[in-house]
Chain A
């Protein structure tokens, strides 16, 4: 099963094109990095892939050899601000179990302590909250994970803890991942391939690590 975009174009109402003609393929078990300057549309593309935004042109195709699979649950998005992704009036336990019931094994692999389940969101740190958002996104139907600046607000130790846990799960379940990040070292460390922004063509294209480094870092 692969996640593929064909000739995607997007504009906000009355706005100019953000990008056009985007062709992107993510295969199972593959980790792709997406880089480009602030405001170029990386997050918009991530939201389109996860089905939160409809492109004005082009298609998203998720195929399992022959049959196409339901979009909504197979592509999950985790973004930079976990505090904006949870309901502040719910206890963590309810937030966690909203979509599906993550088992103890998943919780412990993500370093989620049982005691945190009885707290309110504001009683947890950003790193602790982000672990819940990730657990929530890794339901049984998930095949692709879009990590949009997922660890940008976290210190290096918490970032490494979370990334190692997610990579292990992704490897075991053969998830495909798109990592959107401003941190070059992180992209270089984790990704198999990089896709970069082209400001002239208003499009993303695949590039080599050396070339991406020259233009980006």
Chain B
């Protein structure tokens, strides 16, 4: 049984523009995702593709002007707002994108201790500091006294001590050097090997491929493909969606050749396939309606011409 199952999730916002006119911003459109225990799923997408919103929807921390539809199941049962509130920080933990999520008025050690639920907080905190080479002095320090790298390690260690079964890490690596990245990635691998499910959200396909088991590719607020890591090789012949292929080829270690154009903004989405304006293999049919996600060769793809 999957630990997490997101089906047909949509998230939109109503914005009021000049003269109280309402504008609908469609940030996530019929998104599907499945996760199993012991598995690392990397969610890869460019800025604004809806990655953080997916995390916030699972945790039930979307802003109040968000409209949500679709279903999210956790351990086989629907994840209602009440369940979300009781599981958050316990069974489901977030490693947030921004270090601003640390409480500026509480010492770092105290924050780590409040994340411990099943054990002796003082001991667990000491142990985790040792393991992640965080100075014991840090215990009494406040978030503003930490470097970016230290703050990130603190956030990761909070998720580690929470005993969570599902960990969602939002952009845990950008701007860190390769040693710190390798360390963070191996921490996630270890958690997964102990039976956790880890969702790693990132814009960086290269680092995602280093640790994940499966990659979900996001584009303009939807999943266009879910593929096992082993499908990323050569010129991307085994990949299923034209956007995934383009992303793979654009990496500096591959061809470094970009396709033109940019991702549509959430308030001006095309009516058919969201990738149609940039797709070389588009046909007239593609602009009629959004393709459904379908299973092909052990992966998922949202393209009517995928083979």
Contact = CB atoms under 8 A, between A and B. Distances in A.
Contacts of A164: 258
A154 B177 CA distance: 17
A186 interface: yes
Given A160-B250, A160-B256, A161-B258, A152 B174 contact: yes
Most buried by A among B47, B149, B265: B47
Interface string A160-193: 1101100000000000000000111110111000
B250 to A, nearest CB: 4
Consensus secondary structure, chain B interface: loop
Given A80-B175, A155-B46, A160-B250, A39 B256 contact: no
B69 to A, nearest CB: 25
B142 to A, nearest CB: 19
B46 A127 contact: yes
Interface residues of A, number: 34
Contacts of B298: none
Contact of A153 (B47, B247, B251, B252): B47
A15 to B, nearest CB: 13
B258 A158 contact: yes
Given A125-B47, A127-B46, A155-B45, A188 B203 contact: no
B175 A149 contact: yes
A66 interface: no
A216 interface: yes
A38 B203 contact: no
Contacts of A156: 205-206, 247-248, 250-252
Contact of B178 (A80, A152, A182, A186): A182
A155 B149 CA distance: 22
Given A38-B148, A183-B206, A152 B263 contact: no
A77 B44 CA distance: 29
A37 interface: yes
29 contacts: A37-B177, A38-B176, A39-B149, A111-B260, A125-B47, A125-B262, A127-B47, A152-B175, A155-B44, A155-B46, A155-B47, A156-B250, A156-B251, A157-B246, A157-B247, A157-B250, A158-B46, A158-B258, A159-B258, A160-B256, A161-B258, A161-B260, A164-B258, A182-B176, A182-B178, A182-B181, A185-B206, A185-B252, A189-B252
Interface of A: 36-39, 80, 111, 123, 125-128, 149, 152-161, 163-164, 182-186, 188-190, 216-217
Given A152-B175, A153-B47, A160-B252, 10 more contacts: A111-B262, A125-B46, A126-B48, A155-B204, A156-B206, A160-B257, A161-B258, A182-B175, A189-B252, A190-B252
